[in-house]
A = this chain, B = another copy of it.
Amino acid sequence: MKLNEYDPLDPLETDLYQLTMAYAYWKAGRHEEEAVFDVFFRRCPFGGEYAIYAGLEEVLRFVENFKFTPEKIDWLESKMLGCDKGFFRWLKGVNCERIKIDALEEGTICFPRIPTMKVRGPLAIAQMLETGSLTLTNYPTLAATCASRMRLAAGWDKTLLEFGLRRAQGRDGGLTASRYSFIGGFDGTSNVLASYLFDILMKGTHAHSLVSSCQSLADLSSTKIKRPDGSEIEFVQRVLDWRDFVCQKLGLLKTNEGELTSFIMYAQAFPGGFLALVDTYDVLKSGVPNFLAVGLALLELGYKPVGIRIDSGDLAYLSREAKAQMKKISEALPADYVAWKKVLNEQIIMGSNDIDEEILLSLKQQGHEFTGFGLGTQQVVCAKQPALGGVYKLVEINGRSVIKLSEQMEKVTFPGDKIPYRLFDRENMPILDLMTLLNDEPKAGVTVTCRHPFVETKRVQVLPSRVMPLHYRAWAGQRTRPALSDAKIRENVISNIKAMRPDHLRLLNPTPYKVSLSESLYGFLHSLWQDNAPIAIIQ
């Protein structure tokens, strides 16, 4: 990864109130008080019951480089009129050497209310990490989760490519989308810079404009093609002969000549990588026959055509018919053309055109012949739910646990420095996640009461066969270990997904996965709540 060319998040890219609060703490002499903040989300995205935690490595890069430049501090000082100069002097020395971060492994499957990350350190500094921590994990977690759902909908055997740069929120929106789509389980991207920066496989062939740019064979500058050995040989006449063959076998009179010309031109440029977009005029009457004509001519010269992409129309039907046309032609070849037949029956058939999770499921249900899909808009903007509501909440200050009440119960926070665990059954399947207070650790082979956070009567006795602490110390004034590669995080995602009970992962009406509190944490939460909530007087 060329991360040296990908700047970490600028500490100034934050909400102004982080700086005004930092100033208020500093002014009150409270900026050094030790605080703990939790990062968590309240509901899983897309109506699902899981999420994939992503973005931590970028948070660590942000923390590692958290330093305001003198120019930006001067600028801030010119904007925050009336604030003491001492604050800006202090700001110049701020860094994250005294910050500690506990977090889930990036790529872990995760659930509501479990802190994905816990930040401990001087109040004003930890406060200023809020916006960056959220910006760098909210959308990444959303996009990786969306990608994993697309993967589940498409099937593990399908190629999934991300094509959505043009619909992203600007340049970095596109890069972030490509990166976390890959991490969430995609195979590649069309985004060249994402490939350059993050080592993601890049894929792409041609667009409709290549086809539209050709009207007739006269547009070709050469009728020849380079053979694998480098010599040139007549190509166009071969293609035309094969077109006659294909049209005759498929019962067609002619195909679009401009399209055929563009395919020839593309094959001349990429004889070993011929994948054609076949829906510019008519998939079955022109696109696939033209593809086959060029493909057979390539086979004749020792090349293997790669496949087709269909970008409009009735996708399931067109994929089946396209496959059938390929099969029909392979069967029409002489019996001893075994290798050719094999190639024709193993062509890539890519589908695209605003594909989302529901379309993937519907295609599967209808029966289709796609070997993979290009997903753009729906993956990149996560259209089914385009934002994840991850938050960053103060839970402890100076050793005192704090609770944030709200007019809405669901916005109440769980106070204190909590330790999350995942409990496994005898089959090594996760049973539930449990949050505890310090020194309240559940143990394998020991029954533990796990309580619903809000509903007094909902509790369960669990006898775990294995207990896994969910957090690791990711930052202790410095990184605690080298950065994980995106490929390694992607492996984490896939193994996490494969280790879950499928009913929790189901795309429609999945079974909720339990997130519980230990008895002591439950008691602590509710006593603090009682103490802090004002009593309404109804008169």
Interface residues, chain A, with chain B CB atoms under 8 Å away: 9-10, 12-21, 23-25, 27-30, 33, 35, 37, 72, 75-76, 79, 82-83, 123, 127, 130-131, 134-136, 138-140, 143, 163, 165-177, 190-193, 195-196, 202-213, 215, 219-222, 256, 265-266, 268-270, 272-273, 279-283, 285-286, 312-314, 318, 377, 380-383, 386-390, 392-394, 397, 400, 402-408, 411, 532-534, 536
Cβ-closest 4 pairs across A and B? A172-B172, A16-B204, A313-B407, A169-B173
Chain B's closest residue to A265 (CB) is B28
Chain B's closest residue to A164 (CB) is B387
Question: A135-B174, A171-B9 in contact; A28/B313 too (CB < 8 A)?
Answer: no
A207–B21 touching, CB < 8 Å: yes
A163–B196 touching, CB < 8 Å: no
Taken together as a complex, chains A and B put the C-alpha atoms of A320 and B286 apart, in Å, by: 66
B221–A30 touching, CB < 8 Å: yes
Taken together as a complex, chains A and B put the C-alpha atoms of A394 and B215 apart, in Å, by: 13
Q: How many copies does the complex hold?
A: 2
Taken together as a complex, chains A and B put the C-alpha atoms of A411 and B378 apart, in Å, by: 18
Q: Choose from B286, B392, B411 the contact partner of A534 (Cβ within 8 Å).
A: B286
B381–A386 touching, CB < 8 Å: yes
Across-interface contacts of A83 in B (CB, < 8 A):
269
Q: Choose from B13, B193, B314 the contact partner of A192 (Cβ within 8 Å).
A: B13
Interface centre among A10, A83, A143, by most B CB within 10 Å?
A: A10
Taken together as a complex, chains A and B put the C-alpha atoms of A219 and B30 apart, in Å, by: 8
Taken together as a complex, chains A and B put the C-alpha atoms of A18 and B205 apart, in Å, by: 8
A35–B269 touching, CB < 8 Å: no
Chain B's closest residue to A400 (CB) is B215
B170–A131 touching, CB < 8 Å: no
